[in-house]
Every structure is written in C-alpha cells, then in structure tokens.
A and B are shown apart, each in its own frame.
Chain A
C-alpha cells in the first residue's frame, strides 16, 4: 500500500526567503508525481508534474525534483512572496493502486510580509 508523507506539516517564513518542502512515498513503482497548491476551502491547482523518467521540472520560481529510488521529492520555492501562502500537497500516480492519486497530508506555508 502506497503511503505519502510530507515534512514539515507547517512552515512560516519571511518574505523573500528560499524554501524547500519535502515529500516521501513508500512504493517507488510510480508513473509520476505531482505537486498541488490548495488555498483554504478551495480545490487543488496543479503546479508541477514530474514523470517517473524525469529528475526535475521547473515553472517560474518553482522547481520540483524526484528521486524515485529513494522515494523522495522536493519542491523548491525561490524568493517567496505572501501570495505563496497556501497548503502544498504532493501526490503520486502508480499502477499498483488503481486509477487514482495517493496524496500526502500537505505542508501549510505562511509567507510573512
């Protein structure tokens, strides 16, 4: 059974800092890993999708890496802004657990002005 964990559970940083969010998964047989953003009481917005054959993906100030063999992914946010405040979730898609994503619990990020 796939289990996804995220550390830390919550993070508070001053504006302008670079930061790293961590995601770990127990079953390395995944097709891809995705990072999502969720604002309070809202749905999820996809940020970055990394296929299992890839090592990283970049979009603007966001960079996500994937080490499938060790079951880890990181999301790097450069020059954080108050608008980045949200919960960030990682999710993995694989063949061993049906047609669905398995999500981590998320990291709640607060960027202070």
Chain B
C-alpha cells in the first residue's frame, strides 16, 4: 500500500462526455503527477502539479486539465471524451518537483476509464 488513493476505480462514459478523476496523495507529499496507460503500453505522462501549479505537461491536448488543492489532492478532468481516451489513469505522488531525489514516485491503483 502506497497511501495514494484514486477514485473511482472504474468508470464508463460515452463519447463527448466529460469526466473527473480524483487522487489523494500520500501524507507529506506536495507533488502529484498523472499518467495515462493504454492497454499493453507503458504509462504516458499527462502533467504534474506542484504546490497547486502545473509544473510540466506531456503531449496531451488542452481538453486534459487538472487541479491541485491546498491539501495536495488532485483532479484530472477530461472534456469531450474520445474513444481513444479509454485507458488506465494513474496518479503518483512525490515530495519535491523535478528536483534530483524527488523522483521516487508512489502510485495509486488507478482509474479504469472506458469510453463507448
């Protein structure tokens, strides 16, 4: 158990809808990263939040957005869902952001999103 919790565990949406995924980081961690993992592939970096500010972004369109709250929990929002958005969405927390030695990530169990 890493202490990182994600909700919901599974979600089914239809194309064009919007979805919000939630993540509670491990106690003492101030950084949250979100990854998308398609079936049979490694996770792809979406973005990272450090002290409530976006601190890095991968190659994902603007309809993928996020928030980090004062308690360092986080949300991932996806608008205008597409079929290709079907994936496991992983949240990882850490302490520090981009600093050497801050790269020890603790992952949650993920949210499995299916878009029909």
From B41, B103, B104, residue with most partner A Cβ within 10 Å: B103
Report yes or no: A99 in contact with B110, Cβ–Cβ below 8 A: no
Expressed in whole angstroms, the Cα–Cα distance for A61 and B57 within the complex equals: 36
- CB under 8 Å from chain B, chain A span 29-58: 31-32, 34, 41-46, 49
| Closest Cβ neighbor of B99 among chain A residues | A99
The contact size tier of chain B is 20 to 34
Report yes or no: A104 in contact with B42, Cβ–Cβ below 8 A: yes
Given contacts A42-B109, A43-B90, contact A98 B103 (CB under 8 A): no
Query: Looking at the complex, which one of A4, A32, A41, A43 makes contact with B103 (CB distance below 8 Å)?
Result: A32
Count contacts on A: residues with CB < 8 A to the other chain.
23
Expressed in whole angstroms, the Cα–Cα distance for A28 and B48 within the complex equals: 23
Contacts of A45 in B (CB 8 A): 2, 107
Report yes or no: B90 in contact with A44, Cβ–Cβ below 8 A: yes
Report yes or no: A105 in contact with B98, Cβ–Cβ below 8 A: no
Expressed in whole angstroms, the Cα–Cα distance for A93 and B94 within the complex equals: 14
Give min CB distance, B109 to chain A, whole Å: 5
Contacts of A106 in B (CB 8 A): 41-42
Chain B residues with CB under 8 Å of chain A are 2, 4, 33, 35, 40-45, 48, 50, 55-58, 88, 90, 92, 97-98, 100, 103-110, 112
Chain A to chain B contacts (Cβ below 8 Å), 27 pairs: A4-B42, A31-B100, A41-B112, A42-B109, A42-B110, A43-B2, A43-B90, A43-B108, A43-B110, A44-B90, A44-B92, A49-B103, A89-B42, A89-B43, A93-B103, A98-B45, A98-B56, A98-B98, A99-B33, A99-B55, A99-B56, A99-B97, A100-B33, A100-B48, A101-B105, A103-B42, A103-B44
Chain A residues with CB under 8 Å of chain B are 4, 31-32, 34, 41-46, 49, 89, 91, 93, 98-106
